[in-house]
Amino acid sequence: MDGIRVKSLSKSTSTSHHSAIYPHPFQHTHVSPGYTISTPISCCGIGLHSGQYIHLKLLPAPAGTGILFRRTDLNNAPILARYDHVIDTTLSTVIACPNNPQIKIATIEHLMSALAGNQIDNIIIECDGPELPVLDGSAAKFDQLLQTAGRQTLLSIASTIKILEPVRVEYKDAFAELRPSVYKGLSLSLSIDFPASIIGQQQFSMQLTPQNFKKELANCRTFAFKDEIDSLHKMGLAKGGSLDNAIVVENNSILNPSGLRRRDEFVRHKMLDAIGDLSLVNSRIQGHFIGHKSGHTLNNMLLRKLMAKTECWRYISRKTKSFDSITMIPNLQKQEA
């Protein structure tokens, strides 16, 4: 009988059929273990908008924690980094305590991106001010901090969702979309189109891996237009902004004496932002992201729509407290094949 069964299996190209007969918790789901950092690590720097000097400390955390911020200047008030805790996306991504919007933390996207890039699923982030340090306007320092701290494998699997049907949000000619993908991770394609010819049309595509994140995106800086910065200054914002923490564009030139780090640094930074914003779904994503002229607002709208449309995705593994209580979602559908 076994011989017949094996023979019939050999005709099938579906790995899920194998899984149905030889169930193994990791075999058919392509799940990854969850990670945290190995040792605490800290840094400090200026907040872009407040101009305040901010201290940041990253601490290892057990499975099931997620990305948890704590405002040490506000009695360690916790703020879980999650799409539905986002209260503002106009200048940066801002999250707050669900029951107290005064307890907030701004400009989380570059650190969130470095965490997603390094596959850190669980961490406690202590911060003594209302926004994260902007550092050089990229995620390079955060990426470096995470690698210095080291990565620790947890006795759990990473929470992962798989996109089953396309979900799209639009605003004028901008859009952001998540589609099913055969790639067993997150891949991204992003395009931008600015009237300033120094930026113009740029397009970039990538599969998200720690290696690609470091090599292709981590040191790409945020950018702003000189006239916008002047207006922000008049409003008392961007107090910490300087040529040390952003690319500044005026007319068709770059004001930074050292110029660009890459010709297409602009679109790559937008992708860096998108990775940080998408990680607020609080799970890893198996799917393909496509964005055109998208930013923090569309990225957050996309996650809200995705989570509401439960038929368009499913968990292939859920966040758990320990290895003993791993929740494996039966996965015998054709999509996995």
List of residues contacting Zn ion (CB under 5 A): 222, 273
Angle between helices 109-117 and 265-278 (to 10 degrees): 80
Looking at residue 333, its amino acid is Q
Minimum CB distance to Zn ion smaller for 238 or for 316:
238
In 3D, which of 302, 287, 279 has the Cα closest to residue 169?
Answer: 302
Least Å from the CB of residue 143 to Zn ion: 14
Interatomic CA distance for residues 102 and 75, integer angstroms: 13
Minimum CB distance to Zn ion smaller for 245 or for 286:
245
| Residue 85, marked binder | no
Interatomic CA distance for residues 158 and 282, integer angstroms: 10
| Residue 110, marked binder | yes
Least Å from the CB of residue 135 to Zn ion: 11
CA atoms within 13 A on the CB side of 54: 29
Catalytic residue positions, numbered? 296
Contact indicator for 161, 106 with CB cutoff of 8 Å = no
Fill in the DSSP letter of residue 70: E
Least Å from the CB of residue 131 to Zn ion: 13
Minimum CB distance to Zn ion smaller for 132 or for 164:
132
Backbone torsions φ then ψ of 202, nearest 5 degrees = -140, 145
Residues in the chain: 337
Least Å from the CB of residue 110 to Zn ion: 6
Minimum CB distance to Zn ion smaller for 124 or for 246:
246
Least Å from the CB of residue 81 to Zn ion: 15
For 102, other C-beta atoms within 10 Å of its C-beta total: 9
Distance of CA 312 to the CA centre of its chain: 20
DSSP 302-329: HHHHHHH-GGGEEEEE---SSGGG--BP
Minimum CB distance to Zn ion smaller for 29 or for 222:
222
153 token code pair: 């494998």
Distance of CA 56 to the CA centre of its chain: 19
| Residue 233, marked binder | no
Residues flagged as binding site for Zn(2+): 110, 269, 273
Annotated binding site: 110, 269, 273
